[in-house]
Amino acid sequence: MSKVLVPLARGFEEIEAVSIIDVLRRGGVDVIIAALSDNMLVQGANGITIQADVEVKDITADELDMVVLPGGWDGTHALADDANVQNLLREMDVKGKNIGAICAAPYALDKAGVLKEKYTCYPSVENEIQTKGYQGDKAMVVEDKNVMTSRGPATALCFGLSIVKKLQGQETYETLRNGLLATYCE
What is the β-pairing status of strands 54-55 and 30-35? parallel
> Is 121 one of the annotated active-site residues of the chain?
no
Catalytically annotated residue among 103, 121, 158, 185: 103
What is the β-pairing status of strands 30-35 and 98-102? unpaired
For helices 170-179 and 156-168, give the axis angle rounded to 10 degrees.
150
DSSP for 58-114?
G--GGG-SEEEE---HHHHHHHHH-HHHHHHHHHHHHTT-EEEEETTTHHHHHHHT-
Q: Find residue 143's DSSP bridge partners.
A: 148
- Amino acid present at 161: L
Active site (catalytic) residues: 103
